[in-house]
Structure 1
Amino acid sequence: MGRTLTWRAREKDVFDRESGKNFKGKVLILDDCYRSIQDQAMKNNVKVKQAEIPDTLAVIGNQSFYHCTGLKNINLGEVAQIRKEAFSGCIRLKEAVFSDKLEILGKSSFAQCKRLEKVELESGRLRKLEAGTFQECESMEKICLPEGMEIIEDRAFYRCVNLKKVVFPAQGLKKIGREAFYWTGMDKVEFPDSLEEIGDSAFLKSKTLEKARIPSSVKKIGKWAFHGCGRLKVLEILGEPEEIGEWIVNKSTTIRCRKGGSVEKYALDSGFAVEYL
C-alpha cells in the first residue's frame, strides 16, 4: 500500500507546484482549505494513482495532472474550471464525472486518456467543448452533451474510434468544428434544429456512419465533412446552406435535397447522385 498524504495549504488556498513536487505517495487527498490546483502542480507524477478533491476546490490548472500515467481514479467534486491539458495523457484514467457547476473544459483537457470509458457531463453552464477536449480517448463509447452547449470546437472527439453514440443537446448547439468527430464509431447522427455550421472534415473517416440528416438551420457545410464514410448511402440536406465545401461525401453517397435548389445544383455540378425530399 502506498502512503496517503494530506497536505495543508502552503500558499493561501492554492495547492502549488512545490507541494506537488514534494508529494511521493500514491493517493492524494486535499483538505477543504483548497480553492485551486496550480498549473503543472502534479505534472509527470507517474506514481499517483488516486486523487480526492474537496467540494471547495473550484479550479484545476493548466497541465496540473498532465501525463500522470498511473492515475486511475479522481473525483471532480464541485470543480467549475478544468483548464488546458489538465489530465492530458492520463492513460489509465477510466472515469470522469463532472459537477453541474462546470463552466470550462480547457483545450485538450482529457486528450489521450486512452482508457477513459465513462464520461458524465450534466452542467448547463458549459457552453463549449474546447479544441481537442477528448481527442484520442479510444475507449469512450457514449457521451450525452448537456443542454446549453453551443459550440463543439476543432478535434473535440478526434479519433475516438469506439465512440458509438453521441446525444446532442435538443436545442442551442450552433457549431461543430473542424475534425470534431474525425474517425469515430457512430452509425447515425441526429443534429438539433439550432445547428448552423458543420466544419471541415467534421465526420471524416467515420467508417461506420450510415445515417445523417442535416437540418434546415445549417448555413455552412465544410469541405470533406462526411467524406470517407463508406457506409453512408444517403445524406439528407433539408435546407439550402449558404456555403457547401468540396467533396462533402464519397461518390457512392446520394444527396437527398429539395428539387430546384442550390443543394441540387451543387450535387449535380459535383457529380453526386441526387434524390428529392
Structure 2
Amino acid sequence: MHTINKLEQNHFSKYFLLKEVTLPTSITSLGNSCFSECISLNNIELPSSLIEIGTYCFEYCSSLTSITLPSFISKIGKWCFFKCSSLKSINIPTTIKEIDDWYFGACSSLTSVNIPSSVSKLGNYCFYECKSLTSISIPSTIKELWNNCFNICSSLTSINIPSSISKIGIECLFECTSLIEINIDNIQFIDDEKIYINEPILVSIEIPENLKLINKRNATKQNIDEFIFSSSINELGDNCFYNHQTLTSINIPTSINKLGCNCFYGCSSLTSITIPTSVIEIGQYCFYKCKALTTINIPISVSKIRDSCFECCSSLTSINIPTSISEMGNYCFSFCSSLTSITIPTSVIELPDGCFNDCTSLLSITLQSSVSALGNYCFNKCKSLKSINIQTSVSRIGVSCFNECQSLNNIKIPTSITLFGKSCFFNCGCEEELKRNTSIPRECFEK
C-alpha cells in the first residue's frame, strides 16, 4: 500500500461541495492552494505529522470556523487563510517563526489569535480587514510591524506596541475606527506615509523617547485629543499634523528645532501653540488654514517666515514679528482676515508678493526705513487700511500692491520710488488725489 506524504498543489482546489476532511498521519506537507476555494469545508483534522502548509492552502475556505494547527508545524505559506471569513480563532504553535504576508487577510470573523514568542515577524497585510479582532498581544520578539499589518481592523480598541519594535510600516493601523489608545514604547522610525488614519475616537498617543523624527506623518481626519512628546524628538517633519482638524492645542518640547512644511496645515481647531526658542526653522504652509488660531509668538531664534506660512489664519488678530526675521515669504499672511495691525521690524528689507493680500481687517501697518520694496499684491484688497507711511527707502511698488484698498485715503508717495506696478492703486481710496497731485503713470489706476 502506497504511503501518501504530501498533497500536491491544487489537490482539492475548488471542490465546492467538500465539507469534511480527515488526513492520514503520514502527511507532512500540504501543497500550494491545496484546499483553495473549498467554500463548504467546515472541518478539517490535520495530523501531528504535518510540518508544512503551502501558500494559499485554505484561501477562500469561507465556511471554516476553526482549525487546530499541529504542534510541530514549522512553515505556513503566505495567504494561507486569506478570506476564511468564518474563522473565529486560531492558536499558532511555538514552532512558527513568521506570520507572513496576508496570513489572515480578510478573516472578518476572527476575534482572537495567539501569537507565540517564537514569532519574530508580522508581515504585510497579515491581519488586514480582520474586522472582528478586538485586541491582540504582540510579543517582544517582534522587531517590526510591516505595511498595512492591522489595516481595517475596525473593532480593535487598543494596542500595545512593545519596546522591541523599532519601525511601523505604511498604513499599519489604517481605518482602525474603534481604536482608542496606542502605547508605543520604542519606535525610532515612522514611515513616510500614514501610520493610522480616520480613527474617529482615538484619545491619545504617547510618543516614545527613542523617536528622533516624526517624518511626513499624516494624521488626516483624526480626533486625537492629546499628543505627549518625549524631549528627545528634535524635528516635526513635513505634513506631521496635516489636516488634523480636531487638534486644539499642542505643547512643543524645547528639543524641537524644526517645524516642517505643512506641519500644522489645516489644523482648523488649533487655538493656541507655543513655539519654543529652540525652533530655528518654520516651513512653508506650516500653519496654513489654522482658522481658529488667534495669536502666535514667533521666537527670536527664527530668521525666516516661509511662503504661505500663516496664510488663511482667519482668526489671527495679532502677531509679533521679532527683529531676527530677515526674510518674509510670499503670501505669508495672506487672507488673515482678522489681523488689525502689524509692525515690520528693521531687519526686513522687502515685503514679498501677497504678503498681506486680502487682510480685510488690517487698519494700520508700520514700515521701517529698512524696507526697500513692496511686492506684487502686497496689500491687495486690504479694504480697511486707512493710512500707510511709505519710507524714502522704498524704490518699488509692485503690481496691484494697493488694489481695492478702498479706505486708504492717506498715503504719501516719496520721490525715491522709481517703479510702479500696473494697477497698484486701482480702485483705491486715494486714487483721485494721486491722479491730481502726482505724476504716477496712468496704468497704476487701471485694471
The TM tier, using the shorter chain, reads: 0.7 to 0.9
Asked if residue 256 in structure 1 is aligned to residue 228 in structure 2, the reply is: yes
Choose which of 117, 137, 153 in structure 2 pairs with 1:167: 137
The answer for the alignment partner of 2:28 in structure 1 is 58
Q: Post-superposition shift, 1:144? A: 1.4
Unmatched tracts of structure 2, length 5 or more: 254-447
Structure 2 Cα separation of the partners of residues 87 and 142 of structure 1? 18
Equivalent residue in structure 2 for 1:156, among 126, 144, 147: 126
1:179 equivalent to 2:148? Answer yes
Cα distance 1:237–1:71, how it changes in 2: closer, same or farther (>3 A)?
Answer: same
Task: Give 1 or 2 for the bigger CA radius of gyration.
Answer: 2
Q: In structure 1, what is the Cα distance between the partners aligned to 2:213 and 2:37?
A: 41
Q: Which has the higher contact order (CA 8 A, sep 6+)?
A: 1
Shift of 1:133: 0.8
Structure 1 residues 191 and 55: CA distance shift in structure 2, 3 A:
farther
1:116-136 alpha-carbon deviations (Å, 9 max, x no partner):
112111x22211111111111
User: Whole-Å Cα distance in 1 between the matches of residues 149 and 206 of structure 2?
Assistant: 20
| Whole-angstrom CA distance in 1 between matches of 2:237 and 2:180 | 22
Aligned counterpart for 2:189 among listed residues 208, 220, 223: 220
Once the two structures are superposed, residues 148-200 of structure 1 have per-residue CA deviations (whole angstroms, 9 ceiling, x without a partner) of 1111111111111111121222x210111111111112100012221122110
Partner of 2:44: 74
CA contact (8 A) 2:219 2:241 kept: no
**Cα drift, residue 266 of structure 1:** 4.2
Q: Could you say if the C-alpha distance between residues 233 and 73 of structure 1 is closer, same or farther in structure 2, counting changes exceeding 3 Å? A: same
CA positional deviation for 1:231: 1.3
Partner of 2:158: 188
User: In the alignment, is the contact (CA less than 8 A) between 2:151 and 2:171 conserved in 1?
Assistant: yes
> What amino acid maps onto 2:75 in structure 1?
I
The number of aligned residues is 243
Deviations 1:101-145 (A, max 9, x none): 122221111000111112111x22211111111111111111111
1:93 corresponds in structure 2 to: 64
Shift of 1:72: 0.4
1:127 to 86, 91, 97: 97
- Which residue of the other structure, out of 32, 36, 43, is the alignment partner of 2:6? 36
Task: Output the CA distance in 2 between the equivalents of 1:215 and 1:129.
Answer: 22
Q: Contact 2:61/2:84 (CA < 8 Å) preserved in 1?
A: yes
Q: Aligned runs of 1:97-108 on 2, under 5 Å?
A: 97-108=68-79
1:206 to 176, 179, 186: 176
Asked if the contact 1:255/1:267 (under 8 Å) is kept, the reply is no
Q: Which residue number in structure 2 is paired with residue 17 of structure 1? A: none
SS at match of 1:94: coil
Most deviating of 186-195 and 244-253: 244-253
Task: Specify the alignment match of 1:146 in structure 2.
Answer: 116
Task: Classify the secondary structure of the residue corresponding to 2:206.
Answer: strand
The reply to whether residue 137 of structure 1 matches residue 107 of structure 2 is yes
The two structures have a TM-score, normalised by structure 1, of 0.80
Q: 1:38 to 1:221 in 2, by over 3 A?
A: same
- TM-score of the superposition, structure 2-length normalised? 0.51
Secondary structure of 2:211's counterpart equals coil
Report % sequence identity.
17
CA positional deviation for 1:40: 0.6
Q: Distance in 1 between matches of 2:5 and 2:90?
A: 24
Deviations 1:204-231 (A, max 9, x none): 0000000101112x22222211222221
- Give the aligned residue type for 1:95: S
RMSD: 2.3
Tell me how far apart the structure 2 counterparts of residues 109 and 177 of structure 1 sit (CA, whole Å). Answer: 18
- Aligned counterparts of 1:236 and 1:268: Cα–Cα separation in 2: 19
Asked if the contact 1:203/1:225 (under 8 Å) is kept, the reply is yes
Aligned to 2:167, which of 162, 177, 197?
A: 197
Q: Structure 1: state its 5+ residue gaps.
A: 1-7, 10-32
> 1:134 is matched by which residue type in structure 2?
F
Aligned to 1:49: 19
**Deviation, structure 1 residue 81:** 1.4
Cα deviation code 1:49-108 (max 9, x no counterpart): 111123432211100001011100012222221111000001101102212212222111
